[in-house]
Amino acid sequence: MNDALKNQPDVKIARVEAIPFRIPLKTVSRWGAHGMRDAAEHVLIRLYAEDGRVGISEAIPRPTIYGETQKSITHIVDAHFAPLLVGMNIFDRQKIHDNMNAIQWNPTAKGGIDMALHDLISQVCEKPLACFLGGALAPLPVSYMLGLGSLDDMLKTADEIHSKYGINAWKIKAGANPTLDIERVKALTEAMGDKAFIFIDANQMYSPDVAIRTINKMTEYGLKMVEEPVAVSLGRQRKKVADAIAVPILGDDSLFSLTDVRREVDAGAVGVMGLKTPRTGIWESLKIAHVAEAYGMPCWMGSQGVSQIGTLASAHFAVGLSRLFTVPADLGNYVKQLDDLNATPMVLKDGCLHLPNVPGVGITIDESKLKRYRND
């Protein structure tokens, strides 16, 4: 046995399961030039240990972002990853990733397996995942994403979410109409007050000059940061924009991997490190977070449209490394779903998520709902 594993329990993977499911959203969500979502069409990942314990997570197909679909994720897990992982010790994380990385790309399939793995590991260690990662359980401030739509609809939604959950941190989808984007930031600040944390996500849709003009105007109305204002492919122009605006650029679409992180940090193109555990799992997300720490850069946890299953895993990561995650996490969006597979509803109040004090991530699947919503 590997020397690093001598003092760890010999807990082996017995089975890996991938189940596609579809849960409708309350309203259609739109972003960017082509993004549209009317349901959570995700894949439940379950990692079974030989001792009977089960690690749970979800993989998030985003064909317009990563090229993965429900069918591709379930196939790659069933046909390729499961045979590679069965029989491996769950604590041999580097070897598990080495085996998966023999197959290129498939980031959210790998991320889903990794999050289920860490749920299982922290159960065996009898610690909440956040504590396994070195933190202590504490409330996690979250934001809510306001999609493209009318100004009146945006303000109505913000008022309802603020009244029900106490959230006052807002991510506004933007990019298609710079003039309207400015109006939306101004109106939301006036409605929610100076204490509101407001940022926009332009989904790479501004040109550099438009980005500079638009963002600097928005800062007059309290904008705190801007997510991916210009195309990732623009190289030096991204640095030009970063230097010319008064708020930091939040990296997201530019940070799919540790290699991307090194490029963007070296270029000086981002000021806030965006992480999404659905695409980099816990293992690689730890490496990315520590790069941010080395550069004195704050971190932000994105959602990728996760249900309560993925929300719990991401929240545990942000709480476990709370010294780095100083920006409200984009994890209030699971409330957009009409239902959820998690049998024990999450607690969201006073603008914060409150994690369960149980070993692992704290997910229990409602098998009757899984039967209803699975679509394989």
**From the CA atom positions of the chain, what is the Rg in Å?**
20
Q: Name the active-site residue from 41, 58, 114, 173.
A: 173
Whether the CB-CB separation of 374 and 19 falls below 8 Å is answered with yes
The region that residue 128 occupies, defined by phi over 0 for left and psi between -120 and 50 for alpha, beta otherwise, is beta
3-state secondary structure (DSSP) of residue 71:
helix
Whether residue 190 lies in the annotated active site: no
Cα 152-140-147 angle, rounded to 5 deg: 25
Q: How many CB atoms lie within 10 A of CB 339?
A: 13
**Helix 178-192 to helix 151-165 angle, to the nearest 10 degrees?**
30
Whether residue 252 lies in the annotated active site: yes
In the chain, which residue ranges form alpha helices assigned H by DSSP?
A: 70-76, 82-85, 93-100, 107-124, 129-132, 151-165, 178-192, 208-218, 236-244, 258-267, 277-294, 308-320, 367-373
- Residue 254 CA to residue 226 CA, distance in Å, equals 13
**What is the strand order of the sheet 35-49 is part of?**
13-31, 35-49, 54-59
Whether residue 304 lies in the annotated active site: yes
Q: Name the active-site residue from 70, 123, 204, 304.
A: 304
What's the distance, CA 179 to chain centroid?
Answer: 29
Whether residue 227 lies in the annotated active site: yes
Q: Name the active-site residue from 181, 227, 228, 340.
A: 227
- Residue 13 CA to residue 83 CA, distance in Å, equals 10
The identity of residue 58, as a single letter, is: E
Whether the CB-CB separation of 26 and 57 falls below 8 Å is answered with no
Q: Name the active-site residue from 276, 284, 330, 336.
A: 276
8-state DSSP, 12: B
Q: Name the active-site residue from 58, 119, 201, 264.
A: 201
Whether residue 340 lies in the annotated active site: no
Residues near 356 by beta carbon (within 8 Å), at least 6 away in sequence: 128, 344, 362
Q: Name the active-site residue from 58, 68, 252, 330.
A: 252
Whether residue 276 lies in the annotated active site: yes
Q: Which residues are catalytic?
A: 173, 201, 227, 252, 276, 304
